[in-house]
Amino acid sequence: MEPVTDSSSLAWCNDLLPILEGAERPDHLTLGRMLMARLECPQAFVTLVGETSTGKTTLINSLLGMELLPVSAKPTTATVTHVSVRDTAEPRYLAINTDGTMEELSQEQFSSFSLSPDADLLRLCVEPSRTTS
C-alpha cells in the first residue's frame, strides 16, 4: 500500500531543506529531514503497556489474527517488541542492539531473546508475512 501524501506539504518541505542546509543550524536541518521523512512515509503507532502476564501478547496476536508472538501463563516477552505490520512475503525477525546495529534473527532466536534478552539488546522487531498464521 502506498502512503497517502499531501503534495503541497512535500513540495514546501522540499523547498525548505536547501534553506536549512545553508542556515548552519544542524539541529534545524535534522528536524527538516525528519519532517520530510514523515511526510513521505507517514506512520501510526499503537503502544501497549501493562503489568507482567496480563495478556498484552495474547491481545496483539488476537488483533493480528495470527500466533505471531510466544504466549504462556508465565512471562514470555521480557523486552520491548515492535510489531511492524507490513505487506511482506516472508516474516522477518530482527534484533535492534544498544549500539544502533540491527541483525536478522531466526524465529527460534527471536523467541529465545523474547524470553531472555541479552545486555546488548535494545528491542526486538517482527514483521509478519501475509501468510503467517
Instruction: Give the tens place of pLDDT for each residue, 37-74.
Output: 778 777 777 888 888 888 888 898 888 888 888 887 77
Nearest to 112 by CA among 66, 76, 71: 76
20 pLDDT above the threshold of 50:
yes
Nearest to 83 by CA among 109, 61, 102, 98: 61
Is 95 in contact with 121 (CB distance < 8 Å)? Answer: yes
Say which residues have a Cβ less than 8 Å from residue 75's Cβ, sequence separation at least 6: 52, 53
The pTM of the full predicted model, rounded to 2 decimals, is: 0.61
Q: Which of 5-9, 45-49, 100-104, 128-132 has the highest mean pLDDT?
A: 100-104
29 class by beta-carbon count within 10 Å (0-12 exposed, 13-18 middle, 19+ buried): middle
Rounded Cα gap, residues 21 and 16, in angstroms: 9
Say which residues have a Cβ less than 8 Å from residue 122's Cβ, sequence separation at least 6: 80, 96, 97, 98
